[in-house]
């Protein structure tokens, strides 16, 4: 039996980047800052990848500083570094479910220069 399941709640660190493909597919990428239980600890940063209708929802309703919850799976993007020829990889959360958290007031009052270290 194998399980690859990730659930995160945090604040969006970048404006969603949306990409439309000729095939009709839609992909959205953004970052998420998740605080640790300890107030002194730095937040963990995650790269999120969202596809399809959920990507469109992220584009329309998610902004930098907004609190969201995501469920998905861990994957690794891999590539060969052009400069060094070394194999590289980066963890990415492939989001299946997105939930918008917080109130309308939270969204309206989120500063343009959001810094998750302030939370």
pTM score, two decimals? 0.78
Q: Is 8 exposed, middle or buried (0-12, 13-18, 19+ CB in 10 A)?
A: middle
- The whole-number pLDDT of residue 109 equals 46
Give the pLDDT mean for 87-101: 94
Domain 6-111 matching CATH 3.30.70.940: the answer reads: no
Q: CB under 8 Å to 36, separation ≥6 — which residues?
A: 42, 43, 44
The confidence score (pLDDT) of residue 104 equals: 58
Q: Each residue of 25-45: pLDDT tens digit?
A: 999 999 999 998 888 889 999
- With cut-offs at 50, 70 and 90, classify the pLDDT of residue 111: very low
To which residue do tokens 């929802």 refer?
Answer: 57
* Residue closest to 25 by CA, chosen among 55, 57, 58, 62: 55
pLDDT for the residue 5: 95
- 6-20 per-position pLDDT tens digit: 999 999 999 999 999
């Amino acid at each position: 039996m194998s399980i690859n399941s990730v659930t995160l709640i945090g604040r969006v660190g970048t404006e969603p980047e949306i990409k439309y493909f000729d095939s009709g597919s839609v992909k959205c990428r953004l970052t998420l800052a998740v605080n640790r239980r300890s107030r002194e600890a730095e937040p963990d940063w995650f790269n999120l990848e969202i596809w399809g209708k959920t990507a469109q929802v992220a584009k329309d309703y998610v902004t930098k500083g907004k609190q969201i919850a995501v469920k998905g799976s861990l994957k690794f993007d891999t590539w060969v570094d052009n400069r060094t020829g070394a194999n590289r990889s980066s963890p990415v959360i492939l989001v299946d479910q997105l939930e918008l958290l917080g109130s309308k007031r939270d969204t309206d009052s989120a500063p343009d220069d959001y810094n998750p270290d302030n939370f």
